[in-house]
Amino acid sequence: MSNEKKGKELKLDNFKITGDIIKWNGSVIKIANISYVTNDKFELPAFPKLSVVLILFGLLLRSFNTAAFAGCVAAGIAWILYWYFEKEDLKSKTLLTLSMNSGTRIPILFTDENFLKKVLNVLEEVMKAGSIGHQNITVNIKGCDIHGNAKILTDMGIK
Protein backbone atom coordinates (compact mmCIF):
# COMPACT_ATOMS: atom_id res chain seq x y z
CA MET A 1 0.00 0.00 0.00
CA SER A 2 1.21 3.51 -0.74
CA ASN A 3 0.26 4.89 2.68
CA GLU A 4 3.57 6.09 4.13
CA LYS A 5 2.04 6.66 7.58
CA LYS A 6 1.08 3.02 7.96
CA GLY A 7 3.36 0.96 10.16
CA LYS A 8 5.41 3.90 11.47
CA GLU A 9 3.11 4.91 14.31
CA LEU A 10 3.74 4.11 17.96
CA LYS A 11 0.99 1.93 19.38
CA LEU A 12 1.34 3.02 23.00
CA ASP A 13 -0.93 2.05 25.85
CA ASN A 14 0.09 5.18 27.78
CA PHE A 15 2.64 7.92 28.25
CA LYS A 16 3.52 10.04 31.26
CA ILE A 17 4.37 13.72 31.61
CA THR A 18 6.54 14.56 34.61
CA GLY A 19 8.00 18.02 35.04
CA ASP A 20 9.15 19.00 31.55
CA ILE A 21 9.55 15.53 30.02
CA ILE A 22 7.30 12.98 28.32
CA LYS A 23 8.11 9.31 28.94
CA TRP A 24 6.92 6.05 27.39
CA ASN A 25 8.38 2.54 27.09
CA GLY A 26 11.89 3.65 28.04
CA SER A 27 11.87 6.71 25.74
CA VAL A 28 12.08 10.28 27.02
CA ILE A 29 11.66 13.64 25.28
CA LYS A 30 11.94 17.13 26.69
CA ILE A 31 8.81 19.20 26.15
CA ALA A 32 10.93 22.22 25.14
CA ASN A 33 12.25 20.16 22.19
CA ILE A 34 8.78 19.81 20.68
CA SER A 35 8.31 22.45 17.99
CA TYR A 36 4.68 21.58 17.18
CA VAL A 37 1.98 18.95 17.65
CA THR A 38 -0.49 17.88 14.95
CA ASN A 39 -3.19 15.30 14.49
CA ASP A 40 -3.82 13.68 11.12
CA LYS A 41 -6.21 11.10 9.79
CA PHE A 42 -4.70 8.30 7.75
CA GLU A 43 -4.82 8.60 3.99
CA LEU A 44 -7.43 6.11 2.82
CA PRO A 45 -6.33 3.64 0.14
CA ALA A 46 -7.75 4.07 -3.36
CA PHE A 47 -10.16 1.51 -4.74
CA PRO A 48 -8.17 -1.30 -6.42
CA LYS A 49 -9.32 -0.86 -10.04
CA LEU A 50 -7.20 -3.78 -11.19
CA SER A 51 -9.38 -6.08 -9.09
CA VAL A 52 -12.29 -5.31 -11.41
CA VAL A 53 -10.07 -6.09 -14.41
CA LEU A 54 -9.12 -9.38 -12.75
CA ILE A 55 -12.79 -10.27 -12.22
CA LEU A 56 -13.67 -9.37 -15.83
CA PHE A 57 -10.72 -11.42 -17.08
CA GLY A 58 -11.98 -14.34 -15.02
CA LEU A 59 -15.44 -13.98 -16.57
CA LEU A 60 -13.83 -14.16 -20.03
CA LEU A 61 -12.11 -17.40 -19.03
CA ARG A 62 -15.36 -18.95 -17.78
CA SER A 63 -16.08 -20.93 -20.93
CA PHE A 64 -12.42 -22.03 -21.42
CA ASN A 65 -11.18 -22.94 -17.96
CA THR A 66 -13.42 -23.20 -14.91
CA ALA A 67 -10.51 -23.26 -12.45
CA ALA A 68 -8.96 -20.08 -13.90
CA PHE A 69 -12.40 -18.43 -13.89
CA ALA A 70 -12.96 -19.28 -10.22
CA GLY A 71 -9.43 -18.27 -9.23
CA CYS A 72 -9.55 -14.87 -10.96
CA VAL A 73 -13.00 -14.01 -9.64
CA ALA A 74 -12.13 -15.16 -6.11
CA ALA A 75 -8.85 -13.22 -6.13
CA GLY A 76 -10.60 -10.07 -7.41
CA ILE A 77 -13.32 -10.28 -4.77
CA ALA A 78 -10.76 -11.02 -2.03
CA TRP A 79 -8.75 -7.97 -3.13
CA ILE A 80 -11.84 -5.74 -2.92
CA LEU A 81 -12.75 -7.12 0.52
CA TYR A 82 -9.20 -6.55 1.77
CA TRP A 83 -9.34 -2.95 0.50
CA TYR A 84 -12.72 -2.36 2.16
CA PHE A 85 -11.71 -3.68 5.58
CA GLU A 86 -8.39 -1.81 5.52
CA LYS A 87 -10.20 1.43 4.59
CA GLU A 88 -12.74 0.98 7.40
CA ASP A 89 -9.96 0.25 9.90
CA LEU A 90 -8.00 3.35 8.91
CA LYS A 91 -11.12 5.55 9.20
CA SER A 92 -11.16 4.97 12.96
CA LYS A 93 -7.50 5.85 13.51
CA THR A 94 -5.77 9.19 13.97
CA LEU A 95 -2.12 10.05 14.53
CA LEU A 96 -0.94 12.53 17.11
CA THR A 97 2.44 13.66 15.79
CA LEU A 98 5.04 15.31 18.00
CA SER A 99 7.42 17.21 15.72
CA MET A 100 10.76 17.84 17.33
CA ASN A 101 13.10 20.81 16.81
CA SER A 102 15.56 18.37 15.22
CA GLY A 103 13.04 17.47 12.52
CA THR A 104 12.22 14.07 14.00
CA ARG A 105 8.53 13.24 14.01
CA ILE A 106 7.02 10.92 16.63
CA PRO A 107 3.57 9.67 15.57
CA ILE A 108 1.32 8.15 18.26
CA LEU A 109 -1.74 6.13 17.25
CA PHE A 110 -5.18 7.04 18.67
CA THR A 111 -8.46 5.29 17.95
CA ASP A 112 -10.78 7.69 19.83
CA GLU A 113 -10.92 11.12 18.22
CA ASN A 114 -12.70 12.82 21.16
CA PHE A 115 -10.07 11.55 23.57
CA LEU A 116 -7.35 12.77 21.21
CA LYS A 117 -8.84 16.28 21.40
CA LYS A 118 -8.59 16.16 25.21
CA VAL A 119 -4.97 15.00 24.98
CA LEU A 120 -4.18 17.84 22.53
CA ASN A 121 -5.67 20.36 24.98
CA VAL A 122 -3.60 18.95 27.85
CA LEU A 123 -0.41 18.98 25.74
CA GLU A 124 -1.12 22.58 24.71
CA GLU A 125 -1.45 23.66 28.34
CA VAL A 126 1.70 21.76 29.36
CA MET A 127 3.65 23.30 26.46
CA LYS A 128 2.44 26.78 27.45
CA ALA A 129 3.54 26.20 31.03
CA GLY A 130 6.87 24.69 29.93
CA SER A 131 6.87 22.41 32.95
CA ILE A 132 4.45 21.03 35.49
CA GLY A 133 7.05 20.95 38.26
CA HIS A 134 7.11 17.82 40.41
CA GLN A 135 3.58 16.96 39.34
CA ASN A 136 2.67 14.32 36.79
CA ILE A 137 0.08 13.48 34.17
CA THR A 138 -0.56 9.99 32.85
CA VAL A 139 -2.34 9.62 29.52
CA ASN A 140 -3.84 6.14 29.17
CA ILE A 141 -4.43 5.87 25.42
CA LYS A 142 -5.86 2.37 25.53
CA GLY A 143 -8.31 3.20 28.33
CA CYS A 144 -9.00 6.78 27.11
CA ASP A 145 -8.17 8.27 30.50
CA ILE A 146 -6.08 11.21 31.68
CA HIS A 147 -5.14 11.38 35.35
CA GLY A 148 -2.44 12.64 37.64
CA ASN A 149 -1.74 15.25 40.29
CA ALA A 150 -0.94 18.20 37.99
CA LYS A 151 -2.76 21.43 38.74
CA ILE A 152 -3.30 21.87 34.99
CA LEU A 153 -5.72 18.93 35.06
CA THR A 154 -7.74 20.48 37.88
CA ASP A 155 -7.78 23.84 36.06
CA MET A 156 -9.06 22.12 32.91
CA GLY A 157 -11.73 20.18 34.83
CA ILE A 158 -10.25 16.81 33.87
CA LYS A 159 -9.44 15.48 37.32
pLDDT single digits (tens) 6-29: 445 667 788 888 888 888 888 888
Mean pLDDT in residue range 122-150: 86
Answer whether residue 144 shows pLDDT above 90. Answer: no
Neighbours of 38 (CB within 10 A): 12
Q: Is 159 helix (H, G, I), strand (E, B) or coil?
A: coil
Q: Read off the amino acid at residue 33.
A: N
In the predicted structure, residue 134 carries a pLDDT above the cut 60: yes
- Cβ neighbour number for residue 47 with a 10 Å cutoff: 12
Amino acid identity, residue 115?
F
Average pLDDT of the chain to the nearest whole number: 86
> Higher model confidence: residue 128 or residue 5?
128
pLDDT digits (tens, 9 = 90+) for 28-74: 888 888 888 888 888 899 999 999 999 999 999 988 898 999 999 99
Would you give the distance in Å from CA 158 to the centre of its chain? 23
What is the Cβ-side half-sphere exposure of residue 45, based on CA atoms within 13 angstroms?
20
